[in-house]
Structure 1
Amino acid sequence: MIVWLNGTHGAGKTTTSALVQQLLPDARVLDAEKVGEVLMDVRPGLPATDNFQHWEPSRPLVIETARRVLEFTGGTLVMPMTVLVESYWREISGGLIEYGIPIRHFVLHADQATLRERIQNDKVLGPSTFRFSYVEPYAEAARTWLHNEAEVIDTTHITAAEAAQQIADSVLCR
């Protein structure tokens, strides 16, 4: 099974995924952003973009990486990755489903003011123009499709540990 943690940059996916891993038996974190980092290291020749997900190979590589890791390790993969383009989510989730891999899709949500405050005051990354640039696209995706495709965990007033517990409880109860 894959437990996919979606949401915009700054929502707490990375922190929460590590906590979810501790709460689910035989779980491992696979940060699919690393697939994008591999592509970003390919030089020269890839077209300029602000998001590696726009490169055609990125989505099939995420699918294949997850499938191969699950085939090798078994258990549950906890995958933190922002996917705000509906067609990209359909391609990734559809590809995983074709391989018979069940997906539990969660969105870590926070209101815009909270997201902006978290990004501005991030102790590790500091304020990030890149992360700020995704606040509005996230809001648009949430309004138009994303919240209908996932279990939404509102993190505005809860800790990452509380969010992780909600996710683990949901996964273990089904």
Structure 2
Amino acid sequence: MIILINGSFACGKSTTAQLLVERLYHSMLYDPELVGASLAAIVKPVETFSDFQDLTAWRPLVIETARVLKQVYGRTLIIPIALWHRPYLEEITTGLRQLDPNLYHFCLTARKETLLNRLAQRQHEHTEQALAWIQERIDRCVLAFDAPGFDVQIPTDDKQPAEIVTEILTHINNSPL
């Protein structure tokens, strides 16, 4: 099984994913941001970009890394990701579904005000440059993740991470997959 936890920055993806790993037997956390950061460091001298998701090599590497993790460890992958651009989402979910047809895609949503408040509360975690980069993308994320097609949408404005995890596990347990 693969569980994709999608959503905007500051919606609770990482916390939810970590709690899922703790509650879901035989699972592991796989963060494609690590793949993106490594790839960005490698291609920086030869390619200009502002978001590693725009790098052509990133999407196939995300899928290939998932394939290797599934093959070597045989565990459920829990993948937190802010994947709002529909073509990239389709490319990655299609590739992941080929690895494991038991792909669940949950999209955590929140109002813009909620996201900005959460970012302000954890400002110490980000550099000023990183915070500005995230804030530039909040509007497009909120708009994109509110649209149909992001599978199971879970509003997080008034929920604790444990409640979100319970909702995800309930959905998986009641799913015909």
Query: Do Structure 1 and Structure 2 share a fold, with TM-score over 0.5?
Result: yes
The structure-2 alpha-carbon separation of the partners of 1:6 and 1:46, relative to structure 1 and needing over 3 Å to count, comes to farther
Q: Find the counterpart in structure 1 of residue 42 from structure 2.
A: 42
Equivalent residue for 2:143?
Answer: 140
Q: Which residue of 1 aligns with 2:92?
A: 92
Q: Which amino acid aligns with 1:94?
A: T
Runs of 4 or more consecutive aligned structure 1 residues displaced over 6 Å after TM superposition: none
Match of residue 165 from structure 1? 166
Report the Cα offset of residue 44 of structure 1.
4.6
| Gap runs ≥5 in structure 1 | none
User: Is 2:126 aligned against 1:130?
Assistant: no
In 1, Cα distance between equivalents of 2:81 and 2:160: 19
Please give the root-mean-square deviation of Cα atoms over the aligned residues, in Å: 1.7
Alpha-carbon distance in 2 for matches of 1:168, 1:54 = 32
1:23 corresponds to 2:23: yes
Alignment of 1:106 with 2:109, yes or no, is: no
Is 1:154 aligned with 2:155? yes
Task: Write the letter of the residue equivalent to 2:139.
Answer: E
Residue ranges of structure 2 left out of the alignment (5+ in a row)? none
Q: Which amino acid aligns with 2:159?
A: I
Q: Report % sequence identity.
A: 28
**Alpha-carbon shift at residue 119 of structure 1 (Å):** 0.8
Measure the CA separation in 1 of the matches of 2:43 and 2:141: 30
1:171 maps to amino acid: I
Answer yes or no: is the 8 Å Cα contact 2:9–2:82 preserved in 1: yes
Equivalent residues, number: 172
Q: Distance in 1 between matches of 2:93 and 2:118?
A: 29
1:128-150 Cα offsets, whole Å, 9 max, x none, are 11221221111221244xx4232
* TM-score w.r.t. length of structure 1: 0.91
